[in-house]
Structure 1
Amino acid sequence: MSLYSTLMEPGVIGGERMFRKLMLQVSVLASVIHIAFAVLFFTYDIVPLAIVNIFSVLLYMTVFVLIIRRRLIVISWLAVVVEIVVHATLAVYLLGWESGFHFYAMMIPPVMMVSPFKESMIKVPMVAGMMVLYVLIDHELRGAQPVYLLKESLLNSLYYFNLVLVLISMVFLSGLYYRLVVENAARLQQLATTDALTGLHNRRCVQELAEREIKNHRRHGLPLSVLMCDLDNFKRVNDLFGHLAGDRVLRNFSQVLNQQVRAGDLVARWGGEEFLVLLPSTPLAEAQAVAERVRQHIEQAPVTMADSEIYTTTTIGISELALEGVSLTMGNLAGDCFEQLVARADDALYQGKANGRNCIMLEPQAACEH
């Protein structure tokens, strides 16, 4: 899936969501401006333009309602494009090129590029057609005699008002596009580092964070421990209650883990029903106490599904970062050490499974020392 396709997904900031927001703001602003223009043109007895502005206000109010109800978004956008082109062309024809109404047509191509049309095969001809149309309007109406001759002071005021308004709109659009890029970058970063089901760090993210933590702890000689947690008989939960119940059990376990660790600890879904907890500045004894709290809470926190209560247990393997006799000059030490740290916790976990589950098991060397 391309980046553009990703941004167009309903759950991602941007795409249609951003376009709806833009259209709502344009509808409100355009309605206010057209009301002002209608009053102005009635005052100077330019009835055709006054009537056109009244219809424009009704159009933008209709567009606002449709966008709020999330209906006919593309048709609303096309109606706005037609309104801007027709209105600008008519105003230039009646009042002359010096009135500055042609500036509004220049706003359409950049907005087209973020319109709901996904295919460039549609967008490119639309943008190209809009550019050709603007050139034709320029060619035909720049030197044409206007139908209504306005005072030079009023004509200059209209020209600069339209120019400033379009420039402000361009700045607003640029700011909107910038926020879209920043928000989508943050969203994509979150999607790349977060497990969608539980909201925890995913495996890739915790590996990167753990490597930095290990380097720091080695440098300062601080303890660091890892918990490898596995839900017991999780396949049986899926088989008996269904995958929806299994998802709830996983989310419940992730909540228990978050509640029982400190703010600076790292909790991640390692894969399937396995979860990894990285405990910085935590020796083995303290890690064992954390693991015991987790084990007890999950045992006492059933998941309710319909009329059933699903009780689960967890087996936890624990390992501690070895600090003695390690060279700090080895460039690849952090990655290797993290893999070894996880491997030892994993070995302890499977030893706990072999011993009957629902227990805590220290890595083999630590278990001997204790």
Structure 2
Amino acid sequence: MDWGRLLYAVAWIGLPVGMGVQLLYNPPQDPRLYLAYPFFGLLFAWGLLQGPKWAPRILTHALGAYLLFEAWRAGDDYFVVAFWSPTLYLLAAFAYPLPLALAAGAFWGGLLVLLPLLRGQGGFPFGHYAAAQPILLALTLLLARFQEYYGQVRFWREQALTCPLTGLPNRRALEMALEREAARVERGERPFSLVLLDLDDFKKVNDERGHPEGDWLLKEVARYLKDHVRQGDLVGRWGGEEFAILLPATDSLRAERQAERLREGLKALGVTASFGVAGYRGDLQDLFRRADEALYRAKAQGKDRVVRSTSEGSG
């Protein structure tokens, strides 16, 4: 079930349903007042058709006017609009920046509070009704701002941990993942392996074909690696033309075999790379060093090959 679509439908179906419920339980005494309902219905429909930018702004004022109408029509039962006022404040919160949202919410909320007083209906439950409006407005605005701030924090966190060119986790993100994996090993889970790979003669690509071609190649390699590792493996950009692959619960021998399959796949695409493989043995700095040394030997031995750290066991 698509919960997002279901909730969206419930949210917008709620407008005509709410109007229908009000008509059912509190029908107008004056038949002419029935004309207001198709007017508000058309106004809501027109607002919804204006798109995500303008719809909340139009609906804020359309709903404010409708609630004011219902509060006036309900007489001593004016407080029933309190059930729907949070919807008004929520629309205002997402329609405008904070100062304007506060002003729009306070405008309609203030009218909803003043109307019973103007009609001489200030007895029970007016106090509860009046106190609820500013509290509901404040809580709704806070909720909307928290959601907005959370989105900003998430954006900057993702920006800080993601390579903007390839979309892969960057070196910092990989280091954090390796630290988590090391902690899991300390709790008794199987050791993991690290694969470093460096594209061969990448500088020549930039020099001869230009940096746009080099960027395109990096993105293609990133896409290939991401599509051809196991679920649970993590591919990231280590820096420049160098990538890293974290292989959880994988010894160095199996990691070497996986690296060999990736090397052959890249070569079939017309790209060669050198790979260095090392297994975790209790020290992350040692793991980085051994994987880097293995990569260096792969380069020194002629490139386009996989080398496993010489200090690894037989697996």
Q: TM above 0.5, one fold?
A: yes
- SS in structure 2 of the partner of residue 319 of structure 1: strand
Cα distance between partner residues in 2 of 1:53 and 1:221: 65
Question: Match for 1:138: what amino acid?
Answer: P
Matching residue of 1:315: 274
Does residue 259 of structure 2 align to residue 291 of structure 1? Answer: yes
Task: Compute the displacement of 1:52 (Å).
Answer: 1.2
Matching residue of 1:150: none
Does residue 127 of structure 2 align to residue 127 of structure 1? Answer: no
Structure 2, unpaired ranges of 5+ = 123-136
Matching residue of 2:130: none
Matching residue of 2:37: 53
Matching residue of 1:84: 63
Structure 1 residues 13-66: Cα deviation after superposition (integer angstroms, max 9, x where no partner): xxxxx9xx998755433234436666888x756234211111001111112222
Cα distance between partner residues in 2 of 1:284 and 1:317: 10
Distance 1:285 1:93, change over 3 A: closer
Alignment of 1:154-173 (within 5 A): none
Identify which range, 56-65 or 242-251, moves more after superposition.
Answer: 242-251
- SS in structure 1 of the partner of residue 274 of structure 2: strand
Alignment of 1:1-370 (within 5 A): 26-34=11-19, 46-67=30-51, 70=52, 73-74=53-54, 76-100=55-79, 102-103=81-82, 106-107=85-86, 110-112=89-91, 114-118=93-97, 120-143=98-121, 195=163, 197-217=165-185, 224-241=192-209, 245-301=213-269, 311-322=270-281, 337-363=283-309, 365=311
Task: Compute the displacement of 1:93 (Å).
Answer: 3.4
Distance 1:142 1:77, change over 3 A: farther
Give aligned-pair identity as a percent: 26
Cα distance between partner residues in 2 of 1:260 and 1:86: 57
Question: Match for 1:363: what amino acid?
Answer: S
Structure 1 residues 83-105: Cα deviation after superposition (integer angstroms, max 9, x where no partner): 33333333443441325454367
Cα distance between partner residues in 2 of 1:199 and 1:135: 51
Question: Match for 1:339: what amino acid?
Answer: Q
- SS in structure 1 of the partner of residue 218 of structure 2: helix
Question: Match for 1:54: what amino acid?
Answer: P
Structure 1 residues 281-319: Cα deviation after superposition (integer angstroms, max 9, x where no partner): 444433332222211110111xxxxxxxxx321111222
Question: Match for 2:94: what amino acid?
Answer: S
Question: Match for 1:249: what amino acid?
Answer: L
Question: Match for 1:57: what amino acid?
Answer: G
Structure 1 residues 333-360: Cα deviation after superposition (integer angstroms, max 9, x where no partner): x5xx212211221233234334443223
Q: Kindly indicate whether the alpha-carbon contact (under 8 Å) linking 1:88 and 1:102 is maintained by their aligned counterparts in 2.
A: yes
Aligned-residue CA RMSD in angstroms?
4.3
Task: Compute the displacement of 1:111 (Å).
Answer: 0.7
**How many residues get paired?**
291
- SS in structure 1 of the partner of residue 93 of structure 2: coil
Distance 1:54 1:298, change over 3 A: same
Identify which range, 342-351 or 243-252, moves more after superposition.
Answer: 243-252
Distance 1:87 1:280, change over 3 A: closer
Structure 1 residues 228-255: Cα deviation after superposition (integer angstroms, max 9, x where no partner): 1111233443455555544443343234
Q: Kindly indicate whether the alpha-carbon contact (under 8 Å) linking 2:68 and 2:112 is maintained by their aligned counterparts in 1.
A: no
Question: Match for 2:278: what amino acid?
Answer: S
Cα distance between partner residues in 2 of 1:223 and 1:104: 56
Structure 1 residues 187-230: Cα deviation after superposition (integer angstroms, max 9, x where no partner): 66766655555454433333233234335446759554321111
Question: Match for 2:193: what amino acid?
Answer: S
Identify which range, 346-355 or 312-321, moves more after superposition.
Answer: 346-355
Cα distance between partner residues in 2 of 1:212 and 1:23: 38
Structure 1 residues 111-158: Cα deviation after superposition (integer angstroms, max 9, x where no partner): 15631323x2322333333343333223212439xxxxxxxxxxxxxx
- SS in structure 2 of the partner of residue 270 of structure 1: strand
